[in-house]
Amino acid sequence: MTSMYAEYLTEKTEDKIIETPMGFATYRYVPPDTVYIIDLYVRPVYRKNGAASTIADSIVEEAKKNGCKKLLGSVVPSNKGSTNSLKVLLAYGMSLQSSSTDFIIFEKDI
Ligand SMILES: CC(C)(COP(=O)(O)OP(=O)(O)OC[C@H]1O[C@@H](n2cnc3c(N)ncnc32)[C@H](O)[C@@H]1OP(=O)(O)O)[C@@H](O)C(=O)NCCC(=O)NCCS
């Protein structure tokens, strides 16, 4: 079953969402060859067990089939837990791409 938020995203935006019992991610295709993971969330009891990586892997697999060659992720330093978010992106093999006020973008070739 999809959540009401998923229904909203699908109706109102071009963004996509993957929902599992453990967590969800929203993502967006950025033409011509990039996919951007916007939000990634894993329920606390399921954390530190590879769930986020598994969700990211499934986005990457779909994106590669759609011709993507680059993955983007971002961190908002002022958000709660942003240092952990940063660690997760680095653990996933992402590199710094650019930054602006309170917004850091990471990238990875896929
Ligand atoms: C961030 C979040 C999605 C990680 O989910 P998770 O299922 O625990 O992550 P995984 O188990 O797939 O871990 C992926 C990698 O990040 C590392 N990692 C995960 N949480 C970490 C933490 N709190 N501190 C340091 N490293 C962490 C893991 O060790 C793993 O690295 P490895 O492959 O080298 O072992 C989850 O903690 C969460 O939902 N947090 C709140 C929302 C949030 O901050 N989202 C932004 C993510 S960019």
Q: Is 3 in the pocket of ligand 1 (CB under 6 A)?
A: no
**Pocket test residue of 24, 37, 47 for ligand 1, highest count of atoms within 8 A of CB:** 47
- Amino acid (1-letter code) at residue 57: D
Q: State how many domains the chain has.
A: 1
Supply the range of the domain harboring residue 50.
Answer: 4-109
- Residue 36 Cα to ligand 1 middle (Å): 17
pLDDT at 33: 98
pLDDT at 2: 87
CATH of the domain at 88: 3.40.630.30
- Residue 83 Cα to ligand 1 middle (Å): 11
- Residue 91 Cα to ligand 1 middle (Å): 8
pLDDT at 4: 97
pLDDT at 95: 98
Alpha helices in 25-96, H assignment, sequence order = 51-65, 82-91
Mean pLDDT by 10 residues, the chain (110 residues): 92 97 97 97 96 97 98 97 95 97 98
Centroid of chain to Cα 60? 10
Q: Tokens 């067990």 label which residue? A: 49
